[in-house]
Amino acid sequence: MKKFLAFILSLTMLFGMFGGACTVFAASQTDEQSLGAAEPCAGHTLGSFNGLPACVDENGNLHICENNFPDANFREEVLDLRGADDGYFTEKEAEEITYLSVYGQSVSSLKGVGFFVNLTSLNCALNQLTELDVSGNSALETLYCYDNQLTQLDVSGNPALTDLSCFSNQLTQLDVSGNPVLADLSCFSNQLTELDVSANPALTELDCGYNLLTQLDVSGNPALTDLSCSSNQLTQLDLSGNPALETLYCSDNQLTELDLSENPALTIGFFSQSVSLELASEGDFWVADLSELVSPDHLDRIVSVDGGEFDSQTGIVRFDYQPFLFTYEYDVRKEDLGTMRVVVYPTEPEDPTEPEDPTEPTMRYGDLNNDGKYTATDSMYIRLIIAELDTPAHNINYEAADVTGDGKYTAADTMYVRRLVAELITLEELPVNQ
């Protein structure tokens, strides 16, 4: 019987070589084919394995070869899996594999991972992946793909996902609406401009710091215990719907108010901020209006203002000197955590009649994203550089980052960039232009 089957298989392969009909896949590539093999090795055929096109032997076993697993380093790791001793997987052997780690193995492609349909945990962090397709791994519960070069990540086909760590990539968007049981999401140090976690009621830990978020709604995450959203561009943060919150990191945003009265479990909080505010000259005094930052109903929550005379009824702060910066302490309604310190960088009103200076340097030091202006993004980028969290996808102008002209990136560069953003100094006043 086996000889007869082998004879039939030989005829099938022979007809395939000469254009005859055979049970292989059409030339046009479907979504499933993009996950599997495109052609067989010598002595094998292009069949199906766990629903995907695959290079298989005469018994339909998956060949651990370049066609099924194109990346050599990934292939080596696959060969170490249980059942791979003979260079093949039966469907039963492949289905028994639930855990796979290729952490830090210089893998540039994970093509072939879709053959392991029962995979529940995948760790492919610290590699050189530019793309990752896990649509064939619907049972996946844990995915660690951080420290790669991913610009896209689709987890819509992974409804069982509970733990996703995709930080330190180059993601500009992330859709987790198809992951209802997601409990832990770490997506910091990407380029996300928005993040919707309203469909993740089970979320307990969220770290989305070092992105470009301007708003964050966590009202639909009542189980949230740990939130880190530092170094974004948030101007508001409502935590009234998070009674279980224990840890909060939201520093280096643009928050001017914060209420933690609905967070009884909160014991750790870091929330210092920095903003800019127009400073006007009135005779011998300099005046700033904090009601432009803090709502009138909450002006009485400003506990103190450093260096100025503050009127809690109007929000006006009066200085008898021109301050380089000043701070105010804001009562967050959480006595054991103290107050929120907000550093205010005063700006002077623009003079529309002031002509442009033709002697302005051609290199716009401090303009790290080359958009022709100084914004919070420039401040974020210099911090990323110093923390060594920058990536090629940020498209940072590194020459413009060295505003001190000392050939290195230090806290001094951060200070000067922030002063540029706050319009406290001009381009000509940077040390590099002196």
Q: Considering the domain boundaries, does residue 287 fall inside one?
A: yes
Neighbours of 135 (CB within 10 A): 17
Same domain for 340 and 380, yes or no, is no
Q: Look at residue 358 in the predicted model and tell me its pLDDT.
A: 54
Q: Are residues 329 and 393 in the same domain?
A: no
Domain count, the chain: 2
Query: Is 105 inside any structural domain?
Result: no
**Does one domain contain both 278 and 338?**
yes
Predicted pLDDT at 374: 76
pLDDT of res. 351? 58
Task: Compute φ and ψ for 281, nearest 5 degrees.
Answer: -95, 130
Q: Is 86 part of any domain?
A: no
Residue 389: inside a domain: yes
Q: Is 57 helix (H, G, I), strand (E, B) or coil?
A: coil
CATH number at 283 reads 2.60.40
Q: Which of 326, 347, 368 marks a domain boundary? A: 347
Q: What six digits make up the tokens of 76? A: 């080596």
Closest CA to 179 of 165, 152, 204, 159: 159
Q: Give the per-residue pLDDT at 350.
A: 63
How high is the pLDDT of residue 393?
A: 55
What's residue 178's pLDDT?
A: 97
Q: What is the pLDDT of residue 34?
A: 57
The span from the CA of 293 to the CA of 279, in Å, is: 13
Looking at the structure, do residues 338 and 279 belong to the same domain, yes or no?
Answer: yes
Q: Which of 191, 162, 149 is nearest to 174 (CA)?
A: 191
Residue 417: inside a domain: yes
> What pLDDT, on the 0 to 100 scale, is given for residue 12?
38
pLDDT, one tens digit per residue, over 261-278 is 999 999 999 999 999 999
Contacts of 155 (CB under 8 A, 6+ apart): 134, 143, 161, 164, 175, 176, 178, 179
Please give the residue range of the domain that contains residue 319.
274-347
In this structure, the answer to whether residues 343 and 386 fall within a common structural domain is no
Whether 385 and 426 share a structural domain: yes
160-196 burial: b if 16+ Cβ within 10 Å, else e? ebbbbbbbbbbbeebebeebeebbbbbbbbbbbeebe
pTM beyond 0.75, yes or no: yes
Q: Is 381 found in the same domain as 421? A: yes
Find tokens 């100025």 and name the residue.
308
- pLDDT number for residue 397: 84
Q: What is the pLDDT of residues 285-325, one digit of tens each?
A: 999 999 999 999 999 999 999 999 999 999 999 999 999 99
Residues lower than pLDDT 70 in the chain: 1-34, 350-363, 376, 389-394, 411, 422-424
Among candidate residues 347, 363, 386, the one where a domain is terminated: 347
Classify residue 310: in a domain, yes or no. yes
Question: Is residue 420 domain-resident?
Answer: yes
Residues 291 and 335 in one domain: yes
Residue 68: the pLDDT is: 97
In this structure, is residue 288 part of a structural domain? yes
Residue 403's pLDDT is 78
